[in-house]
Amino acid sequence: MTVYALDALDLAALLCSRVCHDVISPVGAIVNGLEVLEDEKDAEMRGFALDLIKKSAHTASARLQFCRLAFGAAGSAGASIDIGDAEKVARGLFAGEKTQIDWRAPRVLMPKNQVKLILNLCLIAAAAIPRGGVITVIVDGDAERSPRFSVTAKGANAKLASHAPALLAGTPEGAVDAHGIQAFYTGLVARAVEMRLTVATDSDFVAIEAIAEFAEARDLAAAAV
């Protein structure tokens, strides 16, 4: 199977577009709120504007903190990240949203690309339940030698985008655009940490599992004995 190769500059540009898409809405709301404060004299409207600014600032901050871990170069090359930090930014991202997060992971240090993988899987899960629901994150196995990640989205009419499996596998049909870059990037990260992604769907849930390839090979060998 030939994996699609995306030019490094195109990858950087598309990821930047993805991050900007996430933060432009709350930042725009802050600007609108400030314009109301500048022109409005009514106390009630000014209070509404201040509330809008406060909520939008919290949203923008939460999204930027999440993106810093999910896409950015948090730490130096080869650095480990406390998975508790990943839980914190994930909960911050979904705070006040229709989607809740059920985080079931030990608080350990993990290689940063494994942490990126977990957070990106959370984004894919959230996109599968636009009406809201519950995202369950499970991390088990040996964190250093044979980790296993499971991210499940459960909600009404849960559905994975039709092009997502191919993007995760690195075999998209046609060019990768700004709409597909996040799933494509998730696949890149999974292959970088030598983990294989599997997808299962039903009428009310989407589940994505990441298994260390060497651990999978060991399990198959044990089963054959």
Residue, of 224 and 170, whose pLDDT is higher: 170
Q: In this structure, is residue 194 part of a structural domain?
A: yes
3 belongs to a structural domain: no
Q: Containing domain of residue 132, as a range?
A: 8-224
Please check whether residue 159 lies inside any domain of the structure.
yes
Residue 162 is assigned to a structural domain of this protein:
yes
Q: Kindly report, residue by residue over 106-149, the tens digit of the pLDDT.
A: 999 999 999 999 999 999 999 999 999 999 999 998 766 788 99
Q: How far apart are CA 116 and CA 25, in angstroms?
A: 23
Tell me: pLDDT of 64 over 90. Answer: yes
Please give the pLDDT value at position 144.
Answer: 65
| CA gap 136, 13 in Å, rounded | 31
**Res. 105: pLDDT tops 90:** yes
Residue 72 maps to a domain: yes
Summarised one tens digit per residue, pLDDT across range 13-61 is 999 999 999 899 999 999 999 999 988 888 888 899 999 999 999 999 9
In this structure, what CATH number is given to the domain that contains residue 97?
A: 3.30.565.10
CA 19/CA 168 separation, integer angstroms: 19
Residue 2 lies in a domain: no
| Number of domains forming the structure of the chain | 1
Decide which of 215 and 92 is more confident: 92
The answer on pLDDT for 225 being more than 50 is no
84: tokens are 């508790």
DSSP string, the chain: -PPPP--HHHHHHHHHHHHHHHHHHHHHHHHHHHHHHHH---HHHHHHHHHHHHHHHHHHHHHHHHHHHHTS--SSTT-EEEHHHHHHHHHHHHTTSSEEEEEE----EEEHHHHHHHHHHHHHHHHH-TT-EEEEEEEEEETTTEEEEEEEEESTT----TTHHHHHHT--SS---TTTHHHHHHHHHHHHTTEEEEEEE-SSEEEEEEEEHHHHHHHHHHHH-
Percent of the chain with pLDDT over 70: 91
Strand pairing class (133-142; 109-111)? unpaired
69-78, 166-175, 206-215: segment of lowest average pLDDT: 69-78
- pTM for this one? 0.88
Kindly tell me if the per-residue pLDDT of 212 is higher than 50.
yes
Q: What is the pLDDT of residue 215?
A: 55
User: According to the model, what pLDDT value does residue 159 have?
Assistant: 93
The mean per-residue pLDDT over the stretch 100-107 comes to 94
pLDDT score of 4: 85
Residue partners of 196: CB distance under 8 A and separation at least 6? 190, 210, 211, 213, 216
In a domain, 1, yes or no: no
Does the residue 81 lie in any domain? yes
Residues 6+ apart with CB under 8 A from 67: 19, 22, 23
Mean pLDDT calculated for residue range 157-164: 92
